[in-house]
A and B are shown apart, each in its own frame.
Chain A
Amino acid sequence: MSGIRIEGLSKSYGANQVLDGLDLTVAAGECFTLLGPSSCGKTVLMRLLAGFETPDAGRIVIDDTVVAAADVNVPTDRRGIGMVFQDYAVWPHMSVRDNVVYPLKLAGLPADERAERTQAVIELVGLSGLEQRMPSQLSGGQQQRVALARALVSNPALLLLDEPLNNLDANLREEMRFEIRELQQRLGITVIYVTHDQEIALAISDRLAVMDEKGHLRQIGAPNELFDHPTDAYIYRFLGVANFVPLRKVSSGWLLPDGTTAWVGQSPERHGEHLTAGFRPNDIVLSRDGEGLPGIVRRASFLGSQMDYLIDVGGVSLRASTDSRHALSDGQMFRDGEACRIRFHTVQWFDEVLPDGAVKGEFHV
């Protein structure tokens, strides 16, 4: 097994250039996620990998075999992949067992080997005892497992997952994402997972790539790397709730948007007039007094393990999240209208984040 190589891949539909010279390498046995907003091109990339579409230019190599190139187009049925679709695509007229054994039948395996492997993979996904059921008798989560089993039964070199958890309810989604991850690690199978949900991407990937609306891969790396050291504010905002405070340089330092509050604490060496501080809600440390930016709590919500605050500081509104347990014991549970002081665990620095959400410029250390 030697993973997946994508070189210079391009695809357009009419006037719409969806992918333009995309390069990507996925190591064997890696769980790799393509994360991006809807219609950014991630599904098109997946369909090119599967062979449902042919690229306009570029090469795709799966496990050392060229499956798509200028003069090559290996049809889907011979690429040795497994695929799980968003709507499960479990065949309604076949039982669970018949669904799962189908790839092996097509491969022409002898009956006893088919039976053995089918049973093994059905147990693997936790569907033992349900082999004779028809899909209409199964829940959404169970159908998704059938789809998973069917995709795994032929030991594919690559498993493609196209937002498989989208149609499940929130609780099930949480459970199943970990199950998929565990399966992947156990079998050592190469997985490419496509989703718009950053929670899933962060939780299960070895590496992930953030794709933007134009089909460009903005950054590739491990989850914690992208979460705290993104190359730009677009990625930062995509991966989680983010606060941005635009700062303006004056002789004595940096000023917040209200024009009077001064930034307290570290700031990078910068030439130029503008800088933006970025941080996550639980990067904020609140105290009653002492050092820090002065703020007023506009709204306080008790959410159980967390206290969620909306705080007005220097002309901006910030989301803060603190551990309610410590807040309670330290007397740091704030109420609406109370004054507070704000410090930070960590701050990321960016050039400029425009009010309409557009993002300019890069990330600075």
Chain B
Amino acid sequence: MSYLKLRNIGKRFGNVAAVSGLNLDVERGECVALLGPSGCGKTTTLRMVAGFEDIDEGEIEAGDRMLSSRKRNYYLPPEKRDFGMVFQAFAVWPHMTVYENVAFPLRIRKLPAVEIERRTREALTHTNLLKVADAHPDDLSGGGKQRVALARALAIQPDVMLLDEPLSSLDPHFREEMRFEIKDIQRRLGLSILYVTHDQSEAMALSDRILVMKNGVVQQVGSPTEVYYHPANRFVFGFIGLSSFLRASFSGGGIMVGDTPMPLAVAKDAPVELVGVGEAVLAVRPADVDFVAEGGLRGVVRRRAFLGELVDYQIAIGTQILRVQKSRHAVGPQLGENCGVTFANSHWYPYSMSD
């Protein structure tokens, strides 16, 4: 039973369509990430769900309540939507204590004092903040402030939480820890979460499904494994995880990467329709490339960098560069050596002028 329903929503700023034709059903207890580069419309989408922006097309429903509807000219303001929201810059109020911050939404709703105390303490316990309840947010670290924002959003026990890049202002070391804390809270309380981020590894680690956006248009919706292994198009392939792109041309003799011939065994998935066109792009992940002693696509090791657990290679195939990453336990060629590569997994895409 979907809890949050976004039906064909759209938003324009002047002549620009910031979001168009977006459809999404978020189930109860599901975490969905809105992922994309800056300006893709993910934050606008979130703000429409929150009610800070009105929609130009479509409808938004939560549970059995209509939130925004263009057809029916209906718009429920944010203060009535009962969502919990966490902002990128934390937005915790410096002139109130941690306790007062968290209790605020409960006080607004004029709940009885006993209930306010109980729910506030509960939220503070979930986020490990009981000990600092009387401190001021400015006495806490960035991560501490983010926890206050989280606790405040949880206080009203919402069904849906909206998170707008909550971790991007944090120290990189701290980000990973907070990721899993958020995940734990979500699991424990069975929350539905709509999570905006530009960091694909964050989206992969945290969400049940990922919605990838570009220029206001949804590119793909799917689980992390779906989106990673079966990207709907070249943009999604390139955005999720590392990638290398090789331009290949089809001729009577076979497939060529620049001047280097590509053996059939390597080019096994080349789709028939692209063969006729003459040019295409082969997309492959650095972890999906294997070195072979003989045969394969030939190239020269142009750069070999020790990254710790991994070794990162740049293989020059003619004038093009293929990126390869292998565990340091695996055997690999040295700098300047000739080598051959095969691909365990690859995708073919049409070649376009922007390449």
With A281-B309, A299-B180 already in contact, the answer to whether A305 and B325 are too (CB < 8 A) is yes
Asked if B132 is at the interface of the complex by the 8 Å CB criterion, the answer is no
**B240-293 residues at the A interface, CB under 8 angstroms:** 240-242, 285-288
- A and B contact pairs by CB, cutoff 8 A, 29 listed: A182-B303, A199-B307, A199-B308, A202-B307, A203-B312, A224-B306, A227-B308, A239-B308, A240-B308, A240-B309, A241-B309, A280-B308, A280-B309, A282-B310, A282-B327, A283-B329, A301-B205, A302-B205, A302-B225, A302-B228, A304-B240, A304-B241, A305-B285, A305-B286, A306-B287, A323-B287, A325-B287, A325-B345, A346-B329
Q: Judge if A321 is at the interface, Cβ distance under 8 Å.
A: yes
- Contact residues in B for A203 (Cβ distance below 8 Å): 305-307, 312
Q: Does B182 contact A (CB under 8 A)?
A: no
Q: A299-B180, A304-B228, A305-B285 are in contact. Are A323 and B308 (CB under 8 A)?
A: no
**Known pairs A178-B303, A303-B204, A305-B286; A345 contacts B329 (CB<8 A):** yes
B305 and A305 form a contact (CB under 8 A): no
Q: Which residues on B sit within 8 Å (CB–CB) of A280? A: 308-309
Complex Cα distance A296/B285, Å? Answer: 30
Total chain A interface residues with beta-carbon distance under 8 A: 34
| Cα(A95)–Cα(B327), bound, Å | 45
- CB–CB B329/A302 < 8 A: no
Asked if A305 contacts B307 (CB within 8 A), the reply is: no
Pair count A-B, CB < 8 A: 74
Complex formed: what's the CA distance from A198 to B310 in Å?
13
In the complex, the 8 A-B pairs of residues with the closest C-beta atoms, listed nearest first: A305-B287, A304-B241, A240-B308, A203-B305, A282-B309, A223-B306, A301-B205, A302-B224
Q: Which residues of B contact A223 (CB under 8 A)?
A: 306
**B306 and chain A: residue at smallest CB distance:** A223
Is there contact, CB below 8 Å, between B309 and A305? no
Report yes or no: B228 in contact with A323, Cβ–Cβ below 8 A: no
In the complex, how many angstroms separate the beta carbon of B311 from the nearest chain A beta carbon?
Answer: 9
Instruction: Judge if B344 is at the interface, Cβ distance under 8 Å.
Output: yes
User: Of all chain A residues, which has the CB nearest B309?
Assistant: A282
B contact patch SS:
mixed
Q: How far is the CB of A202 from chain B (nearest CB, A)?
A: 5
Instruction: Provide the residues of chain A in CB contact with B230, threshold 8 Å.
Output: none
A18 at the interface (CB under 8 A from B): no
Given A302-B224, A304-B240: A321 in contact with B309 (beta carbons within 8 A): yes
B303 contact set on A, CB distance < 8 A: 178, 182
- Given the complex, which residues of B lie within 8 Å of A182, measured CB to CB? 303
Residues of the A chain whose Cβ atoms lie less than 8 Å from the Cβ of B285: 304-305
Nearest chain A CB to B131's CB is how many angstroms away? 20
Q: Which chain A residues border B107 with CB–CB below 8 Å?
A: none
| Contact yes or no, A224 B307, CB < 8 A | no
Determine whether the beta carbon of B228 is less than 8 Å from that of A198. Answer: no
Known contacts A305-B242, A323-B287, A325-B345; decide if A227 and B205 are in contact (CB<8 Å): no
Chain B residues in the interface with A (C-beta under 8 A): 172, 180, 200-201, 204-205, 224-225, 228, 240-242, 285-288, 303, 305-310, 312, 325, 327-329, 344-345
* Interface check A204, CB cutoff 8 A: yes
Residue numbers in A under 8 Å from B286 (CB-CB): 305
Q: Which single member of B204, B287, B308, B327 contacts A302 (CB below 8 Å)?
A: B204
- Closest CB-CB distance, B202 to chain A, in whole Å? 10
Residues of B within 8 A of A306 (CB): 287
B45 to nearest A CB, angstroms? 24
**Extra A-B contacts (7), CB below 8 Å, given A280-B309, A282-B327, A304-B240:** A198-B308, A227-B306, A227-B328, A302-B225, A302-B228, A304-B228, A305-B285
Measured between alpha carbons, how far is A345 from B39 in the docked complex, in Å?
A: 44
How far is it, in angstroms, between the C-alpha of A282 and the C-alpha of B311 when the chains are bound? 12
B326 nearest CB neighbor, chain A only: A323
Mask, A181-223, CB within 8 Å of B = 1, is 1100000000000000011001110000000000000000001
From B242, B309, B312, residue with most partner A Cβ within 10 Å: B309
The distance in angstroms between the C-alpha atoms of A44 and B287, with both chains bound, is: 40
Q: How far is the CB of A310 from the nearest CB of chain B, in Å?
A: 9
Chain B hits for A181, CB < 8 A = 305
**Distance between A339 CB and nearest chain B CB, rounded to angstroms:** 21
Q: How many Å lie between the Cα of A223 and that of B286 in the bound state?
A: 22
When each residue 317-346 of chain A gets 1 if its CB lies under 8 Å from chain B and 0 otherwise, what string results?
A: 000010111000000000000000000011
B17 to chain A, nearest CB (A): 27
